[in-house]
Amino acid sequence: MTRILVILVGLGLGLALALGGVAAAQPAQPMPRAPGLPIPIQPQRVQPPAFAKPGAAAPQRETTVNPHGDTVESSGPGMALLFWLFAFVAVGGALFVVTRKNLIAAVMGMVGGFLGIAAIYMMLYANFLAVLQMLVYAGAIMVLFVFVIMILNRPEDEPVAPTGRAGAVFGSIAILYLIGRLVMMLIHVTPPDERVAMEAPAAIQLPATTADEPGESVGWGSVKAVGNDLFGPGLFPFEAISILLLVAVVGAIAIARPLKDDQQVADQEPAGEAH
């Protein structure tokens, strides 16, 4: 009972910290730039691309790229707090999957890890992907896994393949060194264009549908922007993935359907175990 209380208090403290971080991460004024970035934030003005028909005159109207005016950067202390929180949730869930002996515990850790990954998507302004991640992974795929685990319901004898003591020590040292090198190398990756990368992402300019007015300006990573790409340049992969899903469904039914022989084996098995 006390353990549950301690967990609840810890969760409340974490939530309060995270909320404070969000409040600190959204300044009314644009945040002061780091010393290396002297370029101030200016709403960029661009000419809308001329998608007009050949005969029509190109529209000359100017549109603002960033109509929402949010300047949340991914470098404030609140953003750092949120990043570390969700990164630890994601990595902890992943470690839970790999280390647990109980399969249901592994699946629950995986749900937590996927929620953390969805929050990471949200920090990268991929709103639609974050929602889809929660719906598809934490919803559908996890339910599938839980169903199969409930059907099988067989505890593992020895979860991890045994190796020699020396091999385990050497392998773990090598893996830790590899992880350290990789993380230290990747953490110093610099974006090619600091101004584009550190600002809130600009709105997406959809192609114009009619000749006399420019295309609509929609938020970066919103459903409309992703859908416009999915049903434009990404139409062939979209159709291919629907055929792949159909094949997978038919194949799953064909593979998992009980055969006649299996049925006889299952009928004979209780009698075999009786004596």
Partner 1 sequence: MGFLLHIGYGHFLALSAVLFLIGVGGVLLRRNALIILMSVELMLNAANITLVTFARMWGGAGAMSAHTFALIVIGVAAAEASAGLAIVVAVFRGRRSVEVDKLTVLRH
Residues between 186 and 215 with contacts to partner 1, criterion CB under 8 A: 186-193, 196-197, 201-202, 204-205
Buried b (16+ CB within 10 A) or exposed e, 188-221: eeeeeeeeeebbbbbbbbbebeeeeebbbbbbbb
Please check whether residue 191 is in contact with residue 198, taking contact to mean a CB–CB distance below 8 angstroms. yes
Which of residues 154 and 275 has its CB atom nearest to partner 1 in the complex?
A: 154
Q: Which of 10, 37, 237, 268 is in the footprint of partner 1 by CB under 8 A?
A: 237
Which of residues 52 and 100 has its CB atom nearest to partner 1 in the complex?
A: 100
Buried b (16+ CB within 10 A) or exposed e, 147-176: eeeeeeeeeeeeeeeeeeeeeeeeeeeeee
Q: How near is the Cβ of 60 to partner 1 at its closest, in Å? A: 20
Q: Which of 41, 131, 149, 211 is in the footprint of partner 1 by CB under 8 A?
A: 149
Q: How far is CA 125 from the centre of its chain?
A: 11
How big is the site for partner 1, counted in residues (CB under 8 A)?
92
Which of residues 14 and 251 has its CB atom nearest to partner 1 in the complex?
A: 251
Candidates 96, 65, 77, 106; CA nearest to 196 is 65
Q: Which of 11, 229, 264, 268 is in the footprint of partner 1 by CB under 8 A?
A: 229
C-alpha Rg value of the chain to the nearest Å: 26
Please check whether residue 121 is in contact with residue 129, taking contact to mean a CB–CB distance below 8 angstroms. yes
Please check whether residue 210 is in contact with residue 73, taking contact to mean a CB–CB distance below 8 angstroms. no
Q: Which of 119, 120, 138, 208 is in the footprint of partner 1 by CB under 8 A?
A: 120
Which of residues 64 and 74 has its CB atom nearest to partner 1 in the complex?
A: 74
Q: How near is the Cβ of 187 to partner 1 at its closest, in Å? A: 4
Phi/psi for 63 (5° steps) reads -130, 150
Q: How near is the Cβ of 201 to partner 1 at its closest, in Å? A: 6
Q: How near is the Cβ of 273 to partner 1 at its closest, in Å? A: 11
Which of residues 13 and 196 has its CB atom nearest to partner 1 in the complex?
A: 196
Phi/psi for 194 (5° steps) reads -60, -35
Contact positions with partner 1 (CB under 8 A) in 6-25 = none
Q: How near is the Cβ of 67 to partner 1 at its closest, in Å? A: 15
Q: How near is the Cβ of 28 to partner 1 at its closest, in Å? A: 21
Contact positions with partner 1 (CB under 8 A) in 150-169 = 151-152, 154, 156, 158-161
Burial class (CB in 10 A: 0-12, 13-18, 19+), 271: exposed
Position 110 contacts partner 1 (CB under 8 A) = yes
Please check whether residue 111 is in contact with residue 142, taking contact to mean a CB–CB distance below 8 angstroms. yes
Binding mask 67-106 for partner 1 (x = CB under 8 A): -------xx-x-xx--xx--x--xx--xx-xx----x--x
Q: How near is the Cβ of 254 to partner 1 at its closest, in Å? A: 8
